[in-house]
Amino acid sequence: MFETPDISHLKAKDYEHVYEPAEDTFLLLDALQKDYAFIQKIRPTLCIEVGCGSGTVTSFVSKLLGSSAHCLATDINGHATLATMKTALQNRQSPDVIQMDLATSFLPRLHGQVDLILFNPPYVVTPSQEVGISDITSSWAGGVNGMEVTNRFLPCVCKLLSTKSAFYMVAVKENKIDKIEQQMLATGLMMEEVLKRNAGPERLFILKFTRIM
Protein backbone atom coordinates (compact mmCIF):
# COMPACT_ATOMS: atom_id res chain seq x y z
CA MET A 1 0.00 0.00 0.00
CA PHE A 2 2.90 2.37 0.75
CA GLU A 3 6.17 2.25 -1.16
CA THR A 4 9.46 1.58 0.60
CA PRO A 5 11.45 4.83 0.64
CA ASP A 6 14.07 5.35 -2.05
CA ILE A 7 17.53 5.09 -0.49
CA SER A 8 19.50 4.83 -3.73
CA HIS A 9 21.36 8.03 -2.83
CA LEU A 10 23.10 6.26 0.07
CA LYS A 11 26.31 4.48 -0.90
CA ALA A 12 28.68 1.96 0.67
CA LYS A 13 30.71 4.78 2.20
CA ASP A 14 27.61 6.04 4.05
CA TYR A 15 27.07 2.62 5.56
CA GLU A 16 30.52 2.73 7.12
CA HIS A 17 28.99 5.22 9.58
CA VAL A 18 25.21 4.63 9.42
CA TYR A 19 23.19 1.45 9.98
CA GLU A 20 22.18 -0.01 6.64
CA PRO A 21 18.46 -0.86 6.39
CA ALA A 22 18.01 -4.58 7.04
CA GLU A 23 15.35 -7.12 8.02
CA ASP A 24 14.52 -5.28 11.26
CA THR A 25 14.02 -2.00 9.39
CA PHE A 26 11.66 -3.55 6.86
CA LEU A 27 9.76 -5.51 9.50
CA LEU A 28 9.03 -2.23 11.27
CA LEU A 29 7.75 -0.77 7.98
CA ASP A 30 5.56 -3.85 7.51
CA ALA A 31 4.18 -3.47 11.03
CA LEU A 32 3.29 0.19 10.48
CA GLN A 33 1.54 -0.70 7.25
CA LYS A 34 -0.27 -3.63 8.92
CA ASP A 35 -1.41 -1.30 11.70
CA TYR A 36 -2.36 1.55 9.40
CA ALA A 37 -6.06 1.42 10.31
CA PHE A 38 -5.18 1.72 14.00
CA ILE A 39 -2.74 4.57 13.32
CA GLN A 40 -5.40 6.40 11.34
CA LYS A 41 -7.82 5.95 14.23
CA ILE A 42 -5.54 7.67 16.75
CA ARG A 43 -4.87 10.50 14.25
CA PRO A 44 -1.27 11.32 15.17
CA THR A 45 -0.27 14.95 14.97
CA LEU A 46 3.24 14.49 16.40
CA CYS A 47 5.55 11.53 15.68
CA ILE A 48 9.11 10.88 16.82
CA GLU A 49 11.55 8.27 15.52
CA VAL A 50 14.33 7.71 18.04
CA GLY A 51 17.57 6.51 16.43
CA CYS A 52 16.70 7.38 12.85
CA GLY A 53 19.84 5.93 11.18
CA SER A 54 19.44 6.05 7.40
CA GLY A 55 16.08 7.84 7.60
CA THR A 56 14.20 4.97 5.95
CA VAL A 57 11.59 4.66 8.72
CA THR A 58 11.24 8.41 9.20
CA SER A 59 10.58 8.97 5.50
CA PHE A 60 8.13 6.06 5.42
CA VAL A 61 6.10 7.24 8.40
CA SER A 62 6.16 10.85 7.17
CA LYS A 63 4.53 9.72 3.94
CA LEU A 64 2.15 7.38 5.77
CA LEU A 65 0.90 10.14 8.09
CA GLY A 66 0.79 12.87 5.47
CA SER A 67 0.53 16.58 6.12
CA SER A 68 -1.68 16.16 9.19
CA ALA A 69 1.30 15.13 11.34
CA HIS A 70 4.63 16.69 12.22
CA CYS A 71 7.52 14.19 12.30
CA LEU A 72 10.70 14.49 14.34
CA ALA A 73 13.74 12.24 14.08
CA THR A 74 16.68 11.96 16.45
CA ASP A 75 20.04 10.24 16.45
CA ILE A 76 23.19 10.72 18.52
CA ASN A 77 25.24 10.05 15.37
CA GLY A 78 25.76 13.12 13.19
CA HIS A 79 26.29 10.93 10.12
CA ALA A 80 22.84 9.45 10.73
CA THR A 81 21.07 12.78 11.06
CA LEU A 82 22.67 13.90 7.79
CA ALA A 83 21.66 10.65 6.07
CA THR A 84 18.09 11.03 7.36
CA MET A 85 17.84 14.55 5.98
CA LYS A 86 19.13 13.35 2.60
CA THR A 87 16.68 10.43 2.58
CA ALA A 88 13.80 12.73 3.44
CA LEU A 89 14.77 15.06 0.59
CA GLN A 90 15.07 12.10 -1.80
CA ASN A 91 11.54 11.07 -0.87
CA ARG A 92 10.03 14.57 -0.81
CA GLN A 93 9.41 14.57 2.93
CA SER A 94 10.27 17.24 5.49
CA PRO A 95 10.73 15.92 9.03
CA ASP A 96 12.73 17.88 11.59
CA VAL A 97 15.95 15.95 12.22
CA ILE A 98 17.84 16.63 15.45
CA GLN A 99 21.13 15.26 16.75
CA MET A 100 20.59 14.22 20.35
CA ASP A 101 20.87 11.28 22.72
CA LEU A 102 17.62 9.31 22.42
CA ALA A 103 14.83 11.85 23.05
CA THR A 104 16.01 13.27 26.37
CA SER A 105 16.00 16.90 25.24
CA PHE A 106 12.28 16.73 24.45
CA LEU A 107 11.39 16.46 28.13
CA PRO A 108 9.64 18.16 29.81
CA ARG A 109 8.55 20.35 26.87
CA LEU A 110 6.81 17.51 24.98
CA HIS A 111 5.45 15.77 28.07
CA GLY A 112 2.20 14.04 27.06
CA GLN A 113 2.30 15.52 23.55
CA VAL A 114 3.63 12.71 21.32
CA ASP A 115 1.13 10.48 19.52
CA LEU A 116 3.51 8.04 17.85
CA ILE A 117 7.02 6.92 18.86
CA LEU A 118 9.17 4.56 16.78
CA PHE A 119 12.34 2.92 18.08
CA ASN A 120 14.67 0.40 16.48
CA PRO A 121 17.31 0.28 19.20
CA PRO A 122 20.72 -1.37 19.34
CA TYR A 123 19.39 -4.74 20.53
CA VAL A 124 22.21 -7.25 19.92
CA VAL A 125 23.68 -8.88 23.04
CA THR A 126 27.30 -7.67 23.32
CA PRO A 127 29.88 -6.83 25.97
CA SER A 128 28.94 -3.60 27.75
CA GLN A 129 32.09 -1.87 26.56
CA GLU A 130 30.82 -1.96 22.97
CA VAL A 131 27.74 0.12 23.83
CA GLY A 132 27.85 3.73 22.71
CA ILE A 133 31.31 3.72 21.15
CA SER A 134 31.87 6.14 18.31
CA ASP A 135 31.91 3.78 15.32
CA ILE A 136 29.18 1.83 13.52
CA THR A 137 29.17 -0.78 16.32
CA SER A 138 27.04 1.57 18.44
CA SER A 139 24.13 1.15 16.00
CA TRP A 140 23.61 -2.48 16.98
CA ALA A 141 25.55 -3.16 20.22
CA GLY A 142 23.04 -3.47 23.04
CA GLY A 143 25.18 -4.75 25.90
CA VAL A 144 23.74 -7.04 28.58
CA ASN A 145 20.62 -8.79 27.19
CA GLY A 146 20.85 -6.28 24.33
CA MET A 147 18.95 -3.87 26.57
CA GLU A 148 21.39 -1.29 27.90
CA VAL A 149 20.35 1.47 25.48
CA THR A 150 16.68 0.48 25.48
CA ASN A 151 16.50 0.51 29.27
CA ARG A 152 17.66 4.13 29.24
CA PHE A 153 14.81 5.14 26.94
CA LEU A 154 11.83 3.09 28.14
CA PRO A 155 11.18 5.25 31.26
CA CYS A 156 10.78 8.28 28.95
CA VAL A 157 8.09 6.67 26.79
CA CYS A 158 5.14 7.02 29.17
CA LYS A 159 6.17 10.63 29.85
CA LEU A 160 6.18 11.55 26.16
CA LEU A 161 3.07 9.69 24.97
CA SER A 162 -0.25 11.47 24.69
CA THR A 163 -3.56 9.95 25.81
CA LYS A 164 -4.33 8.36 22.43
CA SER A 165 -0.96 7.14 21.23
CA ALA A 166 1.31 4.21 20.46
CA PHE A 167 4.95 3.23 20.82
CA TYR A 168 6.42 0.73 18.33
CA MET A 169 9.72 -0.95 19.14
CA VAL A 170 11.93 -3.59 17.51
CA ALA A 171 13.16 -6.37 19.80
CA VAL A 172 14.70 -9.83 19.64
CA LYS A 173 14.06 -12.87 21.80
CA GLU A 174 17.29 -12.31 23.75
CA ASN A 175 15.95 -8.98 25.03
CA LYS A 176 13.61 -10.92 27.36
CA ILE A 177 10.35 -9.60 26.01
CA ASP A 178 8.33 -10.80 28.99
CA LYS A 179 10.41 -8.52 31.23
CA ILE A 180 9.92 -5.61 28.83
CA GLU A 181 6.17 -6.19 29.04
CA GLN A 182 6.24 -6.18 32.85
CA GLN A 183 8.39 -3.06 32.93
CA MET A 184 6.07 -1.13 30.62
CA LEU A 185 2.91 -2.41 32.33
CA ALA A 186 4.20 -0.82 35.54
CA THR A 187 4.19 2.55 33.73
CA GLY A 188 0.62 2.11 32.49
CA LEU A 189 1.35 0.76 29.01
CA MET A 190 0.14 -2.59 27.68
CA MET A 191 2.05 -4.58 25.07
CA GLU A 192 0.99 -6.29 21.86
CA GLU A 193 3.11 -8.25 19.37
CA VAL A 194 2.30 -6.77 15.97
CA LEU A 195 4.65 -8.89 13.85
CA LYS A 196 7.44 -11.42 14.29
CA ARG A 197 9.83 -12.97 11.84
CA ASN A 198 12.96 -15.08 11.68
CA ALA A 199 15.96 -13.31 10.14
CA GLY A 200 18.91 -15.68 10.06
CA PRO A 201 19.68 -16.59 13.68
CA GLU A 202 17.52 -13.75 15.02
CA ARG A 203 13.85 -13.91 16.04
CA LEU A 204 12.61 -10.37 15.44
CA PHE A 205 9.53 -8.82 17.04
CA ILE A 206 7.69 -5.56 16.56
CA LEU A 207 6.12 -4.63 19.88
CA LYS A 208 3.37 -2.04 20.26
CA PHE A 209 2.60 -0.31 23.53
CA THR A 210 -0.57 1.68 24.21
CA ARG A 211 -2.00 3.28 27.32
CA ILE A 212 -4.23 1.20 29.55
CA MET A 213 -7.62 2.90 29.46
What domains, with CATH codes, occur in the chain? 20-169 (3.40.50.150)
Average pLDDT, the chain: 95
Assess whether pLDDT exceeds 80 at residue 121. yes
Assess whether pLDDT exceeds 90 at residue 2. no
Assess whether pLDDT exceeds 90 at residue 58. yes
Rounded mean pLDDT, 24-30 = 97
**pLDDT grade, residue 201 (50/70/90)?**
confident
Assess whether pLDDT exceeds 90 at residue 133. no
pLDDT score recorded for residue 138: 85
Rounded mean pLDDT, 136-145 = 92
Say what the pTM is.
Answer: 0.96
Rounded mean pLDDT, 187-211 = 95
- DSSP code at position 5: P
Contacts 24+ apart (CB under 8 A), 133-141: 135/17, 136/15, 136/16, 136/17, 136/18, 136/19, 138/76, 138/77, 139/18, 139/19, 139/51, 139/53, 139/77, 139/80, 140/19
pLDDT score recorded for residue 100: 93
